[in-house]
Amino acid sequence: MKRNVSLLAFARLLRNLVLIAIISACSDGGNDGSSSTGDTNTADIKGDANTDISPPDVAELSDLSVDVFIDTTSDISDAVDADTAPDMEVTDLVTPHEDTTVLDVQADDTTDTENESDTQVASATRVFRVKSLQIVEPTLCYDIDQNETCDDLTAIVNALIQGQLDAIDEPLDLLGIFPEYTFPSQNKPMVFGEGVCQRDRDAGQIVGCNIVNNSGGAVFDNVFNKDSGICSLDPEINAPCFATTTAPSLSLNIVGILFEFNNAKAAGGFDSGTAPELISPGLLLAFLSVAQTKTIGLELGEPEPTPLFDLLKNSQTTVLDDGTVGWTFHLSFTAEHVPESL
């Protein structure tokens, strides 16, 4: 241990000497009138800010079914099995202010809500229904042929989700509701979760939507509606936009599976700040623990249901401040304004 500390101290001393030499060389060289800018984005950003979040084309899904079992006998505490924890790659789940690759919900000087201006939109309820929803990360990977290769099932699952949203009979109605929508504003609430929409099937229109009581939706107490700046860097979401702080829980029933997420955050771009009709792109981040993934099983043609854990174990994990290990799901979405049902 002493040797390791000495080597670390020597490495730091050597780095400092190199920095001093570089600074001295720059000072001797003077100002030649030119300047250069380095890449200020030091985070390892996965994905493309211009990622197409439209549903992927997946062939012949009619024969694919997903059955779910919930193992109520399993210990669903957030503790991690001792035999699996050492093999996991652990990263920190950081707050939006610490990691600019996630959500920037820092109110800035351009979001002034203390003195209401003539351009500020009066408070009113605004409801949005999710049109598309995709899992971007983590990858759902499974060795179907047992040949030690990864078969990516993410696109198939995303197509099943889109099928739920587009279904004529019993569609999945995911809603984002701003009960006190004001623009620009801060510290306003938002609710995201499952709801019910009434439809005029002859006209092919939605008559009204609202959140179902006790649906397990996320309640974001502090939402920032921004008229300048950015709300997210990956994907890039510029004003007019919104960003939330963290909600403790979010339950979503997706493709027949109940996901009981924790630490949910959201952001989205508006097509207009005054009376937005569309949210695009949208980003939802939510955490699912290792223990939870072991209690959810999928029918993948095996003799026994396959735990969701087995589809995620090759993906990078995150660890919460309390030591809980799991995965942060990155979900992209688009949503359209719909009438509110009273």
pLDDT in the model for residue 226: 96
The pLDDT-based confidence of 179 (bands split at 50, 70, 90) is very high
My answer on whether omega of the bond before 248 falls inside 30° of 0, hence cis, is no
* Measured distance CA(187)–CA(117) in Å, rounded: 17
pLDDT in the model for residue 108: 41
- Asked if the model's pLDDT at residue 184 lies above 70, the reply is yes
- According to DSSP, residue 148 is labeled S
Question: Residues near 100 by Cβ (< 8 Å), separated by ≥ 6?
Answer: 41, 43, 233
Provide the mean pLDDT of the chain: 73
- pLDDT, tens digit, 9 for 90 and up, residues 277-286: 999 999 999 9
pLDDT in the model for residue 326: 97
- pLDDT, tens digit, 9 for 90 and up, residues 4-18: 334 344 445 445 554
pLDDT in the model for residue 20: 52
- pLDDT, tens digit, 9 for 90 and up, residues 241-259: 999 999 999 999 888 888 8
- Asked if the model's pLDDT at residue 24 lies above 90, the reply is no
- pLDDT, tens digit, 9 for 90 and up, residues 196-216: 999 998 888 999 999 877 678
Burial level of 305, CB count in 10 A (0-12/13-18/19+)? middle
Entry pTM: 0.67
- Asked if the model's pLDDT at residue 111 lies above 70, the reply is no
pLDDT in the model for residue 187: 92
The residue ranking higher by pLDDT, 266 or 151, is 266
- Phi then psi dihedrals of residue 160, to 5 deg: -65, -40
Least reliable range by pLDDT among 15-29, 91-105, 248-262: 91-105
CA angle 330, 235, 181 (to 5 degrees): 85
Hey, is 309 helix, strand or coil? helix
The pLDDT-based confidence of 122 (bands split at 50, 70, 90) is low
pLDDT in the model for residue 40: 34
pLDDT in the model for residue 264: 96
The pLDDT-based confidence of 234 (bands split at 50, 70, 90) is confident
User: In this structure, what token pair is assigned to residue 127?
Assistant: 């409801």
Hey, is 49 helix, strand or coil? coil
Distances (CA, A) of 35 to 2, 22, 32, 54: 43, 16, 8, 41
The pLDDT-based confidence of 120 (bands split at 50, 70, 90) is low
* Measured distance CA(161)–CA(333) in Å, rounded: 11
Residue of 297, 301, 212 whose CA lies nearest to 257: 297
CA torsion through residues 101, 258, 270, 240, sign: negative
- pLDDT, tens digit, 9 for 90 and up, residues 33-48: 443 334 433 333 233 3
pLDDT in the model for residue 275: 92
